[in-house]
């Protein structure tokens, strides 16, 4: 990191041994991991500063200068398409006194001009104009004062991720078996996917992990938490039939903390009728595989560790931005297949709005639960009482047709996987804790493949 001759007392960044706070093999979690500020600061250093973090969908960058402002952990970043049609991810923070250089959510620009004193940066983050530069000494070199950029930006099926660790394993390796499950959502259409309707953003009282682990592992809550929503959507108004409510299915977990779960049935279908009628399931079986169509193509939930999640049935992708131990900001996009005709797009978009997003009847149930679990996590007796993640302990197995380690639909296997990965990263020094030579990287060299829009 560009710190020149500055040094800092180690105590300011000291790490805790948190390895005993989760027990993935026994299915136990210490509630203080959701409420403790020191644990949270360590997550920023050891999880968010070194993991592949979702940035945006490729469709958001149409021409050089297109930009989108988001966060990596709590750091504001600008994703921008440069003149070589590469997506660059720049720390949105002026090198002079630290104001943001971009305050718009998204748009198009030629450069980013800080509104404090006027330092201007180009689309690659180079400092290209300094008002009254003659007042600086002659050895002041603007080339030393460009915006900090993420050394690694890679994409998979239209999903752009970035990583602060120059030596991180490639995105596709980090996704591993999870790619097969993502494909069932993002690779139905040979034309690819697009995003519509902007990004919905809202704040929830709850630790980011509550949402991330639920989307990785939790079908269990559906019948209870969403009982009224299921009742409203059922044709009779009396709720779904028992065989729909108690479905069988598969849960996927891996050693990277990724997770997905979904019912498996030969006649799985999309919930919105026009969307169901639009899809040619035989074509999809051929393009993907019968197992993907029976399972993760439609209903289900998934998380790419740490904080990117999605729901295939309504085309919702979302990030759980951490905002301190007790709060998260949810950002949600609607993704559609590019070939969908207008009326099907509309049906899918409206179905998404009705069910998920800030006004969605399912989303509100979920947010309520996370806030409920968070509300008293800081209290003494509650904070000292372990939580139970023991559903499906020991059921992890290989299953024909479904890559990776699997468990049943009703299982905490992927939740235990989230916390196993959490413990591993929280207990291992990250790139910025190692000597400076491991940190240097030329982003222009690392990002060899232009992410063309």
Q: Which does 198 bind (CB under 5 to 8 A by kind): Fe ion, ligand FES, none?
A: none
Question: Order of strands across the sheet with 66-72?
Answer: 87-91, 75-81, 66-72, 106-108
Distance CA 409, CA 402 (A): 13
Of the ranges 45-53, 96-104, 394-402, 435-443, which one interacts with ligand FES (CB under 6 A)? 96-104
Say whether residue 99 binds ligand FES (CB under 6 A). yes
Residues in contact with ligand FES, total (CB under 6 A)?
Answer: 9
Q: Which does 114 bind (CB under 5 to 8 A by kind): Fe ion, ligand FES, none?
A: ligand FES
Q: How many other CB atoms are there within 10 angstroms of residue 244's CB atom?
A: 13
Distance CA 313, CA 9 (A): 50
Q: How many other CB atoms are there within 10 angstroms of residue 288's CB atom?
A: 17
Element (H, E) at 408: strand 402-408
Of the ranges 113-121, 337-345, 347-355, 362-370, which one interacts with ligand FES (CB under 6 A)? 113-121
Q: How far is the CB of 98 from ligand FES (least distance, A)?
A: 6
Q: Which does 366 bind (CB under 5 to 8 A by kind): ligand FES, Fe ion, none?
A: Fe ion
Q: Pick between residue 123 and residue 293 the one whose CB is nearest to ligand FES.
A: 123
Say whether residue 117 binds ligand FES (CB under 6 A). yes
70-73 contacts: CB < 8 A, separation 24 or more? 70/319, 70/321, 70/331, 71/319, 71/321, 71/329, 72/48, 72/150, 72/162, 72/164, 73/44, 73/48, 73/49, 73/322
Q: How far is the CB of 90 from ligand FES (least distance, A)?
A: 14
Distance CA 431, CA 133 (A): 35
Q: Which does 196 bind (CB under 5 to 8 A by kind): ligand FES, Fe ion, none?
A: none
Q: How far is the CB of 116 from ligand FES (least distance, A)?
A: 4
Of the ranges 269-277, 312-320, 337-345, 360-368, which one interacts with Fe ion (CB under 5 A)? 360-368
Q: Pick between residue 96 and residue 285 the one whose CB is nearest to ligand FES.
A: 96
Q: Which one of residues 177, 337, 366, 396 is an interface residue with Fe ion (CB under 5 A)?
A: 366
Q: How far is the CB of 135 from ligand FES (least distance, A)?
A: 13
Instruction: Judge contact between 75 and 96, C-beta under 8 A.
Output: no
Say whether residue 119 binds ligand FES (CB under 6 A). yes
Q: How far is C-alpha 142 from the chain's CA centre?
A: 34
HSE-CB for 377 with a 13 A CA cutoff: 25
Enumerate residues 75-94 that contact ligand FES by CB under 6 A: 94
Q: Pick between residue 122 and residue 366 the one whose CB is nearest to Fe ion.
A: 366
Q: Pick between residue 114 and residue 260 the one whose CB is nearest to ligand FES.
A: 114
Q: 205: closest CA among 324, 290, 294?
A: 324
Of the ranges 95-103, 195-203, 318-326, 364-372, which one interacts with ligand FES (CB under 6 A)? 95-103
Q: How many other CB atoms are there within 10 angstroms of residue 325's CB atom?
A: 24
- Give the length of the chain: 453
Q: How many other CB atoms are there within 10 angstroms of residue 369's CB atom?
A: 18
Distance CA 367, CA 103 (A): 28
Q: 280: closest CA among 255, 258, 297?
A: 297
Say whether residue 114 binds ligand FES (CB under 6 A). yes
HSE-CB for 45 with a 13 A CA cutoff: 19
Say whether residue 254 binds Fe ion (CB under 5 A). no
Query: 3-class SS at 367?
Result: helix
Q: Pick between residue 94 and residue 347 the one whose CB is nearest to ligand FES.
A: 94
Q: How many other CB atoms are there within 10 angstroms of residue 309's CB atom?
A: 24
Distance CA 353, CA 358 (A): 8
Q: Which one of residues 85, 96, 157, 399 is an interface residue with ligand FES (CB under 6 A)?
A: 96
Q: Which does 40 bind (CB under 5 to 8 A by kind): ligand FES, Fe ion, none?
A: none
Say whether residue 154 binds Fe ion (CB under 5 A). no
Say whether residue 140 binds ligand FES (CB under 6 A). no
Q: Pick between residue 111 and residue 225 the one whose CB is nearest to Fe ion.
A: 225
Q: How far is the CB of 342 from ligand FES (least distance, A)?
A: 44
Residue with tokens 């993002």: 186
Residues near 179 by Cβ (< 8 Å), separated by ≥ 6? Answer: 156, 172
Q: How far is C-alpha 405 from the chain's CA centre?
A: 21
Q: Which does 324 bind (CB under 5 to 8 A by kind): ligand FES, Fe ion, none?
A: none
Say whether residue 118 binds ligand FES (CB under 6 A). yes
Residues in contact with Fe ion, total (CB under 5 A)?
Answer: 1
Interface ranges with ligand FES (CB under 6 A)? 94, 96-97, 99, 114, 116-119
Interface ranges with Fe ion (CB under 5 A)? 366
């Amino acid at each position: 990191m560009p710190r020149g001759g500055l040094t800092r007392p180690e105590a300011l960044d000291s790490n805790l041994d948190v390895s005993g706070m989760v027990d993935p093999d026994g299915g136990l979690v210490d509630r203080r991991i959701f409420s403790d500020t020191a644990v949270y600061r360590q997550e920023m250093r050891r999880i968010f500063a070194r993991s592949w973090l979702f940035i945006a969908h490729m469709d958001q960058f149409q021409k050089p200068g297109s930009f989108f402002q988001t966060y990596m952990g709590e750091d504001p970043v600008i994703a921008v398409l440069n003149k070589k049609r590469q997506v660059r991810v720049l720390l949105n923070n002026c090198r002079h006194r630290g104001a943001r250089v971009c305050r718009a959510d998204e748009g198009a620009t030629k450069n980013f001009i800080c509104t404090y004193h006027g330092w201007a940066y180009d689309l690659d983050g180079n400092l290209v104009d300094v008002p009254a530069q003659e007042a600086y000494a002659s050895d002041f070199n603007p080339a030393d004062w460009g915006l900090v950029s993420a050394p690694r930006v890679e994409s998979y099926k239209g999903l752009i991720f970035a990583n602060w660790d120059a030596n991180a394993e490639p995105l596709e390796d980090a996704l591993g078996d999870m790619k097969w499950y993502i494909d069932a959502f993002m690779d139905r259409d040979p034309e690819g996917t697009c995003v519509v309707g902007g990004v919905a953003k809202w704040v929830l009282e709850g630790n980011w992990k509550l949402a991330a682990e639920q989307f990785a592992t939790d079908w269990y809550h559906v019948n209870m938490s969403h009982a009224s929503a299921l009742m409203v959507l059922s044709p009779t108004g009396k709720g779904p039939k028992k065989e729909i409510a108690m479905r069988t299915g598969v849960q996927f977990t891996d050693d990277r903390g990724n997770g997905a779960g979904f019912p498996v049935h030969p006649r799985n279908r999309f919930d919105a009728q026009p969307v169901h009628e639009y899809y040619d399931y035989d074509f999809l079986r051929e393009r993907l595989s019968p197992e993907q169509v029976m399972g993760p193509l439609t209903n289900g939930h998934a998380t790419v560790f740490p904080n990117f999640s999605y729901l295939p049935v309504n085309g919702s992708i979302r990030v759980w931005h951490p905002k301190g131990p007790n709060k998260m900001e949810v950002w949600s996009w609607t993704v559609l297949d590019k070939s969908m005709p207008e009326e099907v797009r509309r049906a899918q978009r409206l179905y998404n709005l009705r069910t998920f997003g800030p006004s969605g009847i399912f989303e509100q149930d979920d947010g309520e639960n996370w806030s409920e679990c968070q509300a008293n996590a800081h209290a003494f007796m509650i904070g000292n009482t372990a939580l139970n993640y023991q559903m499906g302990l020991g059921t992890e197995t290989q299953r024909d047709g479904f890559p990776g380690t699997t468990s049943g639909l009703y299982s905490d296997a992927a939740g235990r996987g989230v916390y196993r990965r959490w413990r591993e990263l929280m207990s291992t020094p990250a790139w910025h804790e190692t000597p400076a030579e491991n940190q240097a990287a030329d982003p222009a060299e690392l990002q060899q493949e232009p992410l063309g829009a």
